[in-house]
């Protein structure tokens, strides 16, 4: 049953990623993969906030936790897209943009993860 929930969560996360990326890129209209950057940072925040909150409050059993983290957020975040977009920037001769994108992705996801961890612990009442 756990595998079914992970698969369903992954499908939901992938669809959410596709729609959000399209919306962000539609607003941005540039060649820079801002949608993927935003999605990876948001996913980093959500997983870091979700886990301590769920553990401290006992809100989720192991099946729901893995369905949300591995399924939904695993389908939502986009490492393979990030990798390909970085390579595309470099192949187009935009080495500086490619390096900047790697740095921005790493920094934003780490900052979002720390912020999510604090948010999750704060919502959990400081536990965890």
DSSP string, 91-102: HTT-HHHHHHHH
Higher pLDDT, 98 or 65: 98
Would the pLDDT of 128 be above 60? no
In a domain, 52, yes or no: yes
Number of domains the chain contains: 1
In a domain, 22, yes or no: yes
Read off the pLDDT of residues 3-30 as tens digits, 9 standing for 90 and up: 999 999 999 999 999 999 999 989 887 7
Q: How confident is the model at residue 112 (pLDDT cuts 50, 70, 90)?
A: very high
Q: How far apart are CA 65 and CA 58, in angstroms?
A: 11
Q: What is the pLDDT of residue 39?
A: 94
Would the pLDDT of 127 be above 70? no
The mean of the pLDDT values for the chain is 89
In a domain, 128, yes or no: no
Q: Is 22 exposed, middle or buried (0-12, 13-18, 19+ CB in 10 A)?
A: exposed
Domain residue limits at 19: 2-123
Q: How confident is the model at residue 126 (pLDDT cuts 50, 70, 90)?
A: low
120, 128 Cβ separation under 8 angstroms:
yes
Instruction: Write the DSSP assignment of 21-80 as a string of letters.
Output: HHHHHHHH-SSS-HHHHHHHHHHHHHHHHHHHHHHHHT---HHHHHIIIIIIIHHHS-HH
């Amino acid at each position: 049953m756990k595998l079914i929930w992970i698969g369903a969560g992954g499908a939901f996360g992938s669809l959410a990623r596709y729609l959000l990326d399209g919306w962000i890129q539609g607003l941005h209209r540039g060649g820079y993969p801002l949608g993927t950057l935003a999605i990876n940072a948001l996913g980093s925040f959500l997983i870091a906030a979700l886990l301590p909150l769920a553990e401290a409050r006992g809100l989720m059993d192991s099946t729901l936790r893995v369905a949300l983290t591995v399924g939904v957020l695993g389908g939502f975040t986009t490492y393979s897209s990030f990798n390909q977009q970085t390579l595309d920037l470099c192949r187009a001769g935009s080495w500086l943009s490619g390096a900047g994108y790697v740095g921005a992705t790493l920094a934003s996801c780490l900052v979002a993860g720390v912020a999510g961890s604090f948010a999750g612990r704060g919502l959990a009442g400081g536990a965890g």
